[in-house]
Structure 1
C-alpha cells in the first residue's frame, strides 16, 4: 500500500504561538511512520519567521528553527518559504536559515495538487 503523502502549511511564527511547534511535532511523527510521507513543508504568512537564521531563543527555550533544520537534514526534506511573504517580513537570502529555500506560491499549488492530505498550522 502506498503511503499517504502530506503537505504541511505553516502560518504561525516560530515563537508567540503554538502552531509552528505543533506542526513540527506532527512532521516529526509523520517522518517516523512508514505509512505516511511528507511531500512538502511550506512556510507562509508569519510562518516565514521559522526560517530566520538570526532567531536566538533563550538558553532554556526550545530552538524551533534548529529543530526544523535537523528534521530536514535527517529526512532529506526541503523547507519551502514563500518569497513574497518573506520579503514583507524582512527574511531574505542573507538571513535564511540552512535547509530553507525561498520559493513561490506555484510550489505550494503543485504540492497541494500532488498530496493526499494538506494540513495548515
Structure 2
C-alpha cells in the first residue's frame, strides 16, 4: 500500500508539462514511466533547469542530469547541451535512451539504473 501511495504522490507532483514525456519515453524505450520519474526526482528534484557543475570540463543538465561526457555522441543526432537544458521532454527522452542502453548491457538491474 505504501508503494501505491508513493507512486501516486510522484505522479501528482512531477511537472505537468513533463508528464506526457515520461509516459511517451517509457513507452518508446520499454521502461516503466514511474522509474523515469523517480530517477528524474533523484537527479534534479524535477527541475528542468537543473545544472550540476562537477568541474570546468564536467557537468550535467536538466531533469535527467545528462552528463557532458555524452554530448559528443548526442551531437550526431543534432542534440546540444542547450536543447537538453531548455527542452524537458528532450532531456527525459535522452535519459530514457541512455537507461535503455544500460539495461541492454547489464539487464534490468540496479547496476544499470546507477550507470
User: Fold match, TM over 0.5?
Assistant: no
Q: TM-score, normalised by structure 1?
A: 0.23
**RCO higher in 1 or 2 (8 Å CA, sep ≥ 6)?**
1
